[in-house]
A and B are shown apart, each in its own frame.
Chain A
Amino acid sequence: MAGPKLKPEELASKIKYNLPPKGWMDEPVEFREGTFNYSGNPKNVEYLQLPNPRKWQPTDPDWQLPENWKEIILEGLRDRLHRFRSLQIFMDICVRCGACADKCHFFIGSGDPKNMPVMRAELLRAVYRKDFTLAGKIFGKYAGARELTLDVVKEWFYYFYQCTQCRRCSVFCPYGIDTAEITLLVRELLGLIGVNIDWVVTPVANSFKTGNHLGIQPHGFKDSIDFAVDELEAITGVKVEAPINKKGAEILFITPSADYFGSPHYYTLLGYLALFHEIGLDYTWSTYASEGGNFGSFLSHDMMKSLNAKMYAEARRLGVKWILGGECGHMWRVVHQYMSTLNGPADFLEEPVSPVTGTKFGNARLTKMVHVCEFTADLIKNGKIKLDKSRNDNRRVTFHDSCNPARALGLIEEPRYIIRNACNYFFEMPENTIKEQTFCCGSGAGLGTDENLEMRMRGGLPRANAVKFVKEKHGVNFLGCICAIDKATLPPLMEYWVGGVDVGGVHELVGNALIMKGEKERTTDLRGEPLTVNESAMKEGNMSEEPFGE
C-alpha cells in the first residue's frame, strides 16, 4: 500500500487547531486528494437497485444529481424525522456546549473544525432548522438556518464520510447525542440521490451476491478453509475438521470474511480452528452466511437488514441450535443492537448453552448469538482448555478496544481475561484511550481505502499515539484487537506512526498458547515466527518484568 505523501513528522506538524476567520457556513468544502473516498461503482449501485447509478467523482463540478434532488432529500428527511425519535431529539436538543468537540479522532488528527462532532451534526441541523423549525423559517441565518444547496450536499458527503460511526462523542455528550446515528441517516439521504462511496457500495453488493464482502464464491471459501486446516497441521501436527454447510450441527459459526482471506486476520482463523477442534465443538461454517461484517450498516438501515437477514436464514436452514460470532466490531453492533429487531425473533433457535461447560449464555437468550470472547472466557474460567502462556512470550501485548464491542456491548473484561490467561506480558494503554473511551482505528464505516489514506492516518493518530506510549514505556510489540477492520487498518497505521508493533486477534494469542492433544512440539507461533523472547523489544524502553503490569 502506498503511504500518504507526507512523512509522519510533516503530517503532524501540519495539524493545527486554528479556526478559519469566516463563519462555518461561508467556508466551502475542498476535496483534497488523500482525504476523501471515490464514488460508488455504477455497476454495483445498479445491481443493488439503488437510485441514480452513473459515473461521477466528488471532484467533478457537476454531480449529475436528479433534477428534483432537493425535494428528494427534504422529503427523505421529513420521513426519517417521523421514523426515528433519535433524529428528532438529536436535532432539537444540542446546546452546543462543545463537550464532544475534541473527542473525535478525526478532529484531533485533522484540526478541521467541521470534524468536531457538534459541527458534523450542525451541517444537517442547519438545514433542518431552515425547513422544519419555526425560528429557522422566520429568522433564517440568525437562527442558524441554512438553505440546502449543492455545496451543502458536497459538504455532507465529505464530512459524513469522514465519520467512522465510532460513537466516542456520544459517551461524552451530556444528552448522549449519537453522531453515528446522524451519520447513518445522512448517508441514507445522500444515497437517495445516488451519492455513495465505492468501498461501501461494492462490499455491500458482494455481500449481497456471494455472502461476503470480498466476493469469494463458495468453492473459493472452501479452498481457503481447507488451506488453513493444512497450514494448522503443519504448525501443530494436528489435523482438524472444519465442516462447511453442515446440516444439523449444533452451532453455526460466523466471522468476518477477512478472517479467511486477509492477513493478519488469518492467524485468528487458525486460532478458531485449533480451539474448536480441541474442545470438540459440533459446529459448521457457512458459505451463504460467510460474512460477519455488515457493510450495509455503513449505508442504510434497509441494507443493514438485508445483509443481516442471512444469519438467521442460514441458522434456520442448517437447523443449528445457536450462533457463535467471531471477532468483529460493527458486526457486533448490528448483532447486538439491531438483529433481533430487524430479522427476529429467532424462536427457531435455542437459548445458547456451552456444550463444553454447560454455561447458559443468558445475556444472549433472545438473539441466540454469543460472542466468541464470551464463549472462550467461559471455557478458560471452567478450566476446559490448557494454555501455555510462555508460547506468547515473544509478544508484549496491549489491547485496543474496538469501538462497537466497547460502546455498544460493553464487552470489556472478556477479551482482557482471555489475554491475561494466554499471555505473560499485558500492558494497558492510558485510561482515556481504552474501554468506553477507546479511540477508533480511524478507518471504520467504509473509510478504509487507499485513496483516503491521509485522512485515515490523521484519524488513527490518537490510537497510534497511545500505542506508542506503551511501546516506549513497556516495550509493547503486539496490538491485540477483536475487529476485522482493525486487523486490516491498524497495521499500516502502526507502520506509519509507531513502527515495530504487530497487530492481531485475541484468538490468535489463544491459538498460540493452546495445548492440543496430540500436538507436536511447537517451534513457531501461528505466524511461523520463532517462539523466543523478542530480545530487541526487551531492550527498548525501561519496561518492568512482572506480568500483568498495567
Chain B
Amino acid sequence: MNALFSLVAIIVIIAAAFLGASVPHLDFLFGVVFPYAAITVFLTGIVYRVIKWSTSPVPFHIPTVAGQQKSLPWIKDSPLESPHNTWGVVGRMALEILFFRSLFRNTKMEMKNGPKLVYGSSKYLWLGAIVFHWSMLIIVLRHLRLFMQPIPSFVLGLDSLDGFFQVGLPGLYITDVLILSALTFLILRRLTVRRIRYISLAADYFPLFLLFSIAATGVLMRYFFRIDLVNVKELAVGLFSFHPVVPQGTGVLFYVHLFLVCTLLVYFPFSKLMHMPGIFLSPTRNLANNSRMKRHVNPWNHPVRVHTYEEYEDEYREKMKEAGLPLDKE
C-alpha cells in the first residue's frame, strides 16, 4: 500500500515531466526555472533545518560507547569506540560517516528450538548501503565535469577510474551498475523482508524509487538514447555561472532526468534524507566519553524541589538520636 502510493507518485512525476518537457517553449521552465527553484529550496531548507536543530541545546552528555573507557593507565582503552577526546570523536565520526561503522556491527538473531538464540553476523544491509552511498557520491562528483570549464583534474581522475574497465562504447561506469544494483537490493529488501515492510512508510519507498528513476534515466541517456552532451554542458555551465541559456534539441529524456533531480532536491530537506546532516549532530555519537573529566553545561538546568538534609534531620531527629547517629542540631 505504502509502496504503491510512492510508486504512483513517482509515475505521476515522470509523466508530468515527460508531457511538460514535450511542450515547446516550456524548456525554459524545466531547464532554468525549476533547477534554480529546487536548488534554492534545497539549500535554504537544509540550512533552516540545521539551524532549527542547533537552536535546541544538548542538555546532557549522553554518548553511547562501544568499547573500554579510559580509566586506569594500565587498562587499554579503545579510542575509537569509546573516545575520550576530540580526536577520538573525529575518528569515530569518520568511521561512521565514511564506513557506516555501527551498521557493520549488524547481527541477525534466530530462535531455534530449545529455545536457543543464535546471533549471526549480517552484513548485507551494510554492503547495500555502502555501495549505494559511495556510488552516489562518486556519480555526483563526476557530474561536476558538466558544470565546470575547465574540468578539475580530480574529476577527470575519478572519471577514468570509474570507467576503468572500458567496456562498450560509451565506456561503462562501474558506479552506474553498482548504484542500480544496490538500489534494487534496498527496494527488494523493503518489499520482501516482512519485518522491514511492516515498518516502512511511503516516505521510505519514495526516495528509493526516486533515486532509482534518476539513476535509470541517467543510464538510459548515456547508453541507450544518446543525447547531445554539448547542449547539456551549455545549459549546465550557464546555470552554474548565472547566465542561463536554453539550447535547443536536448531531448525530452534529459528534462525528465533533470526534473527528477529537482524533485529530489526539493524533497530532501523535508524528509528522512536529512540523516545526512543529522548524523553529524547525533549526541550519542559526536560526544567524547569524558563525562567525568570535563564539565558539560545545560543552559536550562532549572532548579527542582529537593529534600534537604535539614528537612531530613528534622523528620528523623528523634530516631537518629536514639540510634546514636550524629546530628547537626541537637
Residues on A facing B (Cβ under 8 Å): 12, 15, 17, 19, 23-24, 49, 81-89, 92-99, 101-103, 108, 113, 116, 118-119, 122, 133-135, 139, 142-144, 167, 170-178, 181, 208-209, 211, 217-219, 222-223, 244-247, 287-288, 301-303, 305-306, 309-310, 313-314, 317, 335-338, 340-342, 344-345, 359, 361-367, 369, 374, 377-378, 381, 407-414, 417, 430, 432-433, 435-437, 461-462, 465-466
Total number of B residues with any Cβ neighbor in A under 8 Å: 104
Q: Which residues of A contact B278 (CB under 8 A)?
A: 89, 92-93, 175
B61 touches A337 (CB 8 A): yes
Question: In the complex, are the beta carbons of A19 and B309 less than 8 A apart?
Answer: no
Decide if B195 is an interface residue (CB 8 Å cutoff): yes
The answer to whether B53 and A363 touch across the interface, beta carbons within 8 angstroms, is no
CA distance A407 to B66 in the complex (A): 6
Decide if A81 touches B82 in the complex (CB within 8 Å).
no
Do B275 and A175 touch across chains, with their CB atoms under 8 A apart?
A: yes
In the complex, which residues of chain A have a beta carbon less than 8 angstroms from the beta carbon of B302?
302
By a CB distance below 8 angstroms, the chain B residues around A49 are: 305
What separation, in Å, do the CA atoms of A209 and B313 have in the docked complex?
11
**Chain B residues with CB below 8 A from A381, complex form:** 72, 74
Pair A86/B62 contact, Cβ less than 8 Å: yes
Quick check: B325 and A374 within 8 Å, CB to CB? no
18 A-B pairs in the complex with CB atoms less than 8 angstroms apart: A84-B57, A96-B196, A102-B107, A102-B195, A134-B270, A135-B203, A172-B102, A172-B103, A181-B284, A211-B312, A306-B304, A313-B306, A364-B293, A366-B292, A381-B72, A410-B65, A410-B81, A461-B115
A98, B285: Cβ atoms closer than 8 Å: no
Contact of A363 with B70 in the complex, beta carbons under 8 Å = yes
In the complex the two chains form, what is the Cα distance from A475 to B64 in whole Å? 33
* Beta-carbon contacts under 8 Å, B288-330 to A: 289-298, 300-302, 304-309, 312-313, 315-316, 319-320, 322-326, 328
Is B159 an interface residue, CB under 8 A from the partner? no
- Is A366 in contact with B294, judged by CB distance below 8 angstroms? yes
CA distance A508 to B63 in the complex (A): 30
- Most A CB contacts (10 A, CB to CB) among B117, B296, B323 go to B117
Contact B62 A101 (CB under 8 A): no
The 8 Å CB contact of B194, one of A19, A365, A413, is: A19
**Among the interface residues B57, B64, B278, B312, which one has the most CB atoms of the partner chain A within 10 A?**
B64
Cα distance, A15 to B112, chains bound together (Å): 11
Which residues of the other chain, B, contact A87 by a CB distance below 8 angstroms? 56
CB-CB under 8 A from A86, the residues of chain B are 58, 62, 283-284
Whether B67 lies near A85 (C-beta < 8 A) is: no
Determine whether the beta carbon of B199 is less than 8 Å from that of A119.
yes
Check if B301 sits within 8 Å of A142, measured CB to CB. no
B residues in contact with A407, CB < 8 Å = 64-66
B25 near A: Cβ within 8 Å? no
Q: Are A92 and B272 in contact (CB under 8 A)?
A: yes
| A83 & B281 in contact (Cβ 8 Å cutoff) | no
Is B167 at the interface (CB under 8 A from chain A)?
no
User: With a CB–CB cut-off of 8 A, which chain A residues contact B125?
Assistant: 97-99
When the two chains form the complex, which single residue of B65, B84, B309 contacts A313, counting CB atoms closer than 8 Å? B309
Complex contacts, A172 vs chain B, CB 8 Å: 102-103, 105-107
- Tell whether A24 pairs with B198 under 8 Å between CB atoms, given A49-B305, A99-B106: yes
B255 to chain A, nearest CB (A): 26
Evaluate contact between A83 and B52: CB separation under 8 angstroms.
Answer: no
**A333 nearest in chain B by CB position:** B62
- For the complex of A and B, 6 pairs with smallest distance between CB atoms: A410-B69, A176-B284, A93-B278, A219-B323, A144-B201, A12-B115
Question: Does B271 count as interface, using CB distance less than 8 angstroms?
Answer: yes
Chain A residues with CB under 8 A of B272: 92-96
